[in-house]
Amino acid sequence: MNELERDFLVKIIPPRGNAVYRLKFTRGHVAATAVGVMLALLVAVGYHTYRLRVAEADVRALQELTVRQQAELQTFDRQTDGLAAQLRAVQKQNAEIKRMIGGGTKAAPRGSTSAGALHGSVGFRALHAKLHALAAASLAANDDAQHLHRLAMRVLNVRRLTAIARTRMLAAIPSLNPVGGAVAAAFGWRSSPWPEFHKGVDLMADWGTVVHAAAAGTVASTGWDGGFGIKVDIDHGNGYHTWYAHLSRVLVHPGEVVARGAPIAYSGATGEATGPHLHYQVMYDGRAIDPAPFLNGVPAAVMATLPGAPGV
């Protein structure tokens, strides 16, 4: 094969034909060009394959990330459902406390949400909305709980003060037999030892029996009082006075504060008495009332008028 057969000649003739351009190359040039093209194609194919594999790896990573995020979202969703359940329990307890202490319903803050509305599909936007609603409902429940706590403390203080006042009032109402003796002469009209309206009760007692205050109060007066002989008058500060007459000796003095059941005197037969006994008289708002209902505790009719009694 001669040299011409191994070479290639390309002529380029412009339209006017005033010049001719020739390109001459050999088979080696063609082979080198073909090899270069093949190498370029191989490089392009290899790069494309590499990019595909990278893209596939990215897709798998994104898929795994999506699965993990979905699992985390489901976990958060379950946690928010648990918190919502706890919040509903708190709201129920608040409502029960309101019912028990009589606290009126307090208006929920603007934008607050009931725990019962915290349900929906799982997703970033939905979860964000649920968390926002849960936070608002929690703030509302916390505010409601603080309001109820303050209200409960006021109610408890009122009830405690009412109980204290009731206890003090009970202690200042005649409610015991001063000498523990039986009734020898009742309240009302009698003919012996002479006809008269008996304004108290005569209680059987030996000479020198200790006389006890029928209720808490302040000693108003002591000393001789005509037919009553030696008498003690105790003011209980609530309209009630108790008189203890025919005494032999006094143990207290005017102005002294005495407790219910405190010793105040000894029984005797001073004044217009036919023998040792205790004349016990109960005065209410300046008039004598029958002491008999007060000998064994506070009468039910009086108890019904005290603070804390049903209907009061």
CATH of the domain at 197: 2.70.70.10
One domain, residues 237 and 262? yes
- Domains: count for the chain: 3
| Distances, alpha carbon 15 to alpha carbons 9, 24, 26, 132, in Å | 19, 21, 27, 80
**Domain membership flag for residue 79:** no
| Same-domain status, 157 and 251 | no
For residue 224, CA distances in Å to 203, 208, 229, 238 come to: 20, 17, 5, 25
pLDDT at 171 over 70: yes
Residue 26 structural domain: 7-73
Residue 53 falls inside a structural domain: yes
Dig out the tokens for 87 from the structure.
Answer: 């919040």
Residues 255 and 156 in one domain: no
Any domain includes 220:
yes
* Pick from 207, 214, 210: nearest CA to 233: 214
164 plus 224 within the same structural domain: no
Query: Which residue, of 144, 171, 198, is where some domain finishes?
Result: 171
Neighbours of 177 (CB within 10 A): 20
C-alpha gyration radius of the chain: 54
186-233 residue pLDDT tens: 999 887 677 889 999 999 999 999 999 999 999 999 999 999 999 999
Average pLDDT, the chain: 82
Angstrom CA distances, 109 to 59, 142, 199, stand at: 46, 11, 66
Torsion angle of alpha carbons 94, 96, 97, 103, nearest 10°? 90
**Are 164 and 191 within one domain?**
no
Query: Domain for residue 177, yes or no?
Result: no
Across the chain, where does the E strand assignment appear? 7-12, 21-26, 183-185, 188-190, 196-198, 201-204, 210-212, 217-224, 230-235, 240-250, 257-258, 263-267, 277-284, 287-289
Question: What is the structure's pLDDT at 107?
Answer: 45
Range 129-134 average pLDDT: 73
Residue 310 lies in a domain: no
Q: What is the pLDDT of residues 274-302, one digit of tens each?
A: 899 999 999 999 999 999 999 999 888 88
Assess contact for 253 and 272: CB atoms under 8 A. Answer: no
Last residue of a domain, one of 171, 191, 209: 171
Q: Rounded CA gap, 234 and 240, in Å?
A: 9
Q: Are 277 and 203 within 8 A, CB to CB?
A: yes
Q: Are residues 65 and 21 in the same domain?
A: yes
Q: Are residues 124 and 28 in the same domain?
A: no
Nearest to 210 by CA among 266, 168, 161: 266
Each residue's pLDDT tens digit, 223-278:
999 999 999 999 999 999 999 999 999 999 999 999 999 999 999 999 999 899 99
Would you call 112 exposed, middle or buried from its count of C-beta atoms within 10 A (0-12, 13-18, 19+)?
A: middle
Residue 226 is classified by DSSP as G
Please check whether residues 190 and 223 belong to one and the same domain. Answer: yes
For the chain, how are helix, strand and coil distributed in percent, rounded to 5? Answer: 45, 25, 30
Question: Please, are residues 133 and 118 in contact by the beta-carbon 8 Å criterion?
Answer: yes
Assigned domain for 273 exists: yes
| Domain membership flag for residue 1 | no
* Nearest residue to 183 via CA among 79, 291, 273: 291
Q: Tell me which of 151, 171, 191 is where a domain ends.
A: 171
C-alpha closest to that of 268 among 222, 208, 204: 208
- Indicate whether 36 and 106 sit together in one domain: no
Q: Specify if 194 maps to a domain.
A: yes
One domain, residues 14 and 100: no
* Same-domain check for residues 299 and 203: yes
Q: Do both 50 and 97 map to the same domain? A: no
